[in-house]
Structure formats: C-alpha cells, structure tokens
C-alpha cells in the first residue's frame, strides 16, 4: 500500500505541482532542458538499485541523446542554457525531475505485483485526491464557470492522452525493457513538439532540429542495442 501511495505522491501530485509552478516562473524551453536530465538520473539509480547493466556503450548513448535533446530545445544556442542563473523556477523544475525519477523507479518495483494499468490507475486516483486541496485553494471552483471550450478540450487532452495513455505505455515500457532504457525515449518529446509545430503552426524545421534528432535517435539506438559476445567476436 505504501509504495502505491508513493506513486501517486511522486508521479501525479508532486510532479504536477512542481512542474506547473516552475512553468509560471521560467519559459518552457528552459524547463525542458532541465527535464532532459531525467534519463541520466534514472540510469544511474537503476544501475544502483535494480542492477540494470550500464556499460560504456549505453553510457555514451545516454549522453549523446541528452545532448541532442538540449540542442533541439535551445535551437543550437547552447549559451542560453547558462544564462539567467538559477532561481525558484529552475529549482521547482529540478524537483519535478526528482519526482519523475522516483515515480519511474518505484513503479518498476510495484509492477512486480501489479500490472502497469493497475499501477497507473491507483497512483492517478491517489494523486488526484492530493491535488484537489491545492487546486481548491487556488480557485478551482471559483473560476469553474469561466473555462472555455478550448480549456476543457485541453484538460481532456492532458487527462486522457498525457496521463492515461502516456503513463500506461511508459510503465509498459519500463516493465518490458527497464527504467533505464525506457526513460531515454523522453528525449523524443522536444523533437515531436518541434515537428508538430511545423505541421500545425507552420514553424520552420531548423538545422538544430535535424542535428538533435540524429543525436537522439543514435543515443536511443546505442542504449537499446544488444551487443552479444558472439557478435563482438565476429567483428574482431
């Protein structure tokens, strides 16, 4: 019961609280750069707690993928990463990263007894109950009548696609290939965002997107590729 409560506390409650508080203080691009560090922490802790194998090839893949995501997010202007210093916005987003890391690792342990769907269901219910209280004090019912149809559609999208489908598939991935390899696919998020912006908002495809995409794909490939002893010997 306690691990399931911790799932709701970390992945639903604290993650969303820190994420949206951080976004109120810093821009989305800067927040995304911090979130791109997710796979590194998950990899190191997965290797420590669950003894997931981490070799030089996987380590290089993780670093390459994170660099690719940072290039896409910063649009090639890497100097933007260090500009602006560190404030509460950055601290909130980093706490958001820690929450997601905990959610990923605890989830791997919980799924020894529960299915991914059951794990997400229980954690979502617990997280929703916990989120009700801060939402109430921030005027959830007071502003209820002012929500537009677009606002309700956005809320539905976040609830159904961003939570139900996204969380269940993420946990399915963790159960199949482990938290280390599954977390690396998070770096495809900024790439998908830029590509969708091209089709929906007519924003241009830049050189930084092309380079970043190649690096992310290469990093994911290296991290998920299985190098067997026989194959290594045959290449010598």
pLDDT in tens, 83-130: 655 678 888 888 998 999 999 999 888 988 889 889 989 999 999 999
Instruction: Calculate the average pLDDT of the chain.
Output: 80
Q: Is the pLDDT of residue 76 over 50?
A: yes
Nearest alpha carbon to residue 11 among 91, 108, 153: 108
Q: Which runs of consecutive H residues, i.e. helices, occur in 140-206?
A: 149-157, 166-177, 179-183, 188-201
pLDDT of residue 14: 93
pLDDT of residue 79: 66
Place of tokens 């690719």: 68
Distance between CA atoms of 44 and 38, rounded to whole angstroms?
10
Distance between CA atoms of 145 and 132, rounded to whole angstroms?
18
pLDDT 10s digits, 205-236: 778 778 877 888 887 777 767 655 444 444 44
* CA-based R_g, the chain, Å: 19
Q: Is the pLDDT of residue 173 over 60?
A: yes
- Whether 74 and 81 have beta carbons less than 8 Å apart is answered as yes
Model pTM? Answer: 0.75
pLDDT of residue 234: 43
pLDDT of residue 136: 83
pLDDT of residue 6: 93
Residues near 120 by Cβ (< 8 Å), separated by ≥ 6?
A: 163, 164, 167, 168, 171
pLDDT of residue 84: 57
């Amino acid at each position: 019961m306690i691990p399931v409560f911790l799932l709701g506390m970390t992945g639903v409650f604290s993650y969303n609280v820190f994420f949206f508080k951080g976004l109120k203080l810093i821009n989305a691009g800067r927040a995304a750069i911090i979130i791109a560090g997710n796979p590194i922490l998950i990899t190191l802790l997965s290797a420590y707690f669950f003894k997931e194998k981490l070799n030089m090839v996987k380590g290089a893949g993780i670093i390459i993928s994170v660099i690719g995501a940072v290039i896409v997010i910063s649009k090639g202007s890497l100097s933007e990463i260090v500009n602006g210093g560190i404030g509460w916005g950055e601290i909130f987003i980093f706490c958001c990263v820690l929450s997601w890391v905990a959610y990923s690792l605890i989830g791997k342990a919980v799924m020894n007894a529960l299915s991914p769907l059951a794990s997400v269901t229980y954690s979502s219910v617990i997280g929703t109950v916990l989120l009700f209280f801060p939402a109430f004090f921030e005027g959830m019912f007071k502003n209820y009548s002012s929500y537009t149809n677009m606002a309700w559609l956005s809320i539905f999208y976040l609830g159904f696609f961003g939570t139900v489908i996204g969380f269940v598939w993420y946990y399915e991935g963790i159960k199949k290939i482990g938290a280390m390899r599954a977390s690396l696919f998070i770096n495809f998020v900024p790439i998908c965002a830029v590509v969708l912006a091209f089709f929906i908002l007519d924003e241009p495809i830049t050189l930084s997107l092309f380079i970043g995409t190649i690096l992310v794909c290469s990093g994911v490939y290296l991290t998920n590729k299985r190098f067997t002893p026989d194959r290594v010997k045959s290449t010598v």
